[in-house]
Amino acid sequence: MALLEILHHPDSRLRKKASPVNQVDERIQTLLDDMLETMYAARGIGLAATQVNVHERVIVIDLSEDKSAPLFLVNPELLAQSGVIEHEEGCLSVPDYYEKVTRASDIRVRALGQDGQPFEVEASGLLAACIQHEMDHLEGKLFVDYLSVLKQQRVRRKMEKLERLKRKAPEQANAE
């Protein structure tokens, strides 16, 4: 297993649209394992392949406290959505920034699992928000795109400042 590097906003590679996976083979299974390890190390609840600069339709999620419930979604398709929920979201590609985002409260998704077999999942609440957040990544979309232009400018400046700090003094920037 390997830790992968997570891209940070405003990196243009986060804007690429991901391609469907042809076959869930050993390469994809290794990618899923590496993404899960990377997500756990970064203390996230989800990670899309786009964030690790792999532009294929692959997502990992685990909402549990103890790494006990990994969910693998390859080629996810939204089958149905209903209701509205407002949830505070964060993103490993937009460190230390949290804002409320409005999403569908209930969704049904079809995907291929780690074994390549199709399955369906019904989700609500935080899991529904997380799946929609990750599916957005595969379209090159970030949660900050839903915010006002003013907030988008603020977050961009904050990220650029963080990048400058990291280049000057990597240790301090990480501690912040």
Active site residues: 134
> Do the beta carbons of residue 95 and residue 162 sit within 8 Å?
yes
> For 110, phi and psi rounded to 5 degrees?
-110, 140
Q: Select 70 or 90, whichever has its Cβ closest to ligand GNR.
A: 90
d(CA 73, CA 48): 9
d(CA 29, CA 38): 14
3-state DSSP call for residue 65? Answer: coil
Binding window for ligand GNR (CB under 6 A); candidates: 30-38, 83-91, 112-120, 162-170: 83-91
**Binds ligand GNR by CB under 6 A, chosen from 10, 70, 90, 95:** 90
Smallest gap from Cβ 76 to ligand GNR, in A, equals 13
Fill in the amino acid letter for 90.
G
Taking CB atoms, the residue at the shortest distance from Ni ion is 91
Smallest gap from Cβ 152 to ligand GNR, in A, equals 17
Alpha carbon distances (Å) from 19 to 27, 138, 145: 15, 8, 21
Q: Is 138 a residue that touches ligand GNR (CB under 6 A)? A: no
Q: Is 70 a residue that touches ligand GNR (CB under 6 A)? A: no
C-alpha count within 13 angstroms, C-beta hemisphere, residue 140: 9
**Binds ligand GNR by CB under 6 A, chosen from 74, 112, 121, 129:** 129
Q: Select 27 or 151, whichever has its Cβ closest to Ni ion.
A: 151
d(CA 83, CA 87): 13
Cα(first)–Cα(last) distance of the chain, in Å?
Answer: 28
Say how many residues touch Ni ion, by CB under 5 A.
1
**Per-residue binding letters, 11-50, with ligand GNR (x by CB under 6 A):** ---------------------------------xxxxx--
> Do the beta carbons of residue 102 and residue 72 sit within 8 Å?
no
Q: Is 133 a residue that touches ligand GNR (CB under 6 A)? A: yes
User: Where do contacts with ligand GNR occur on this chain (CB under 6 A)?
Assistant: 44-48, 51, 87, 89-93, 129-130, 133-134, 137
User: Where do contacts with Ni ion occur on this chain (CB under 5 A)?
Assistant: 91
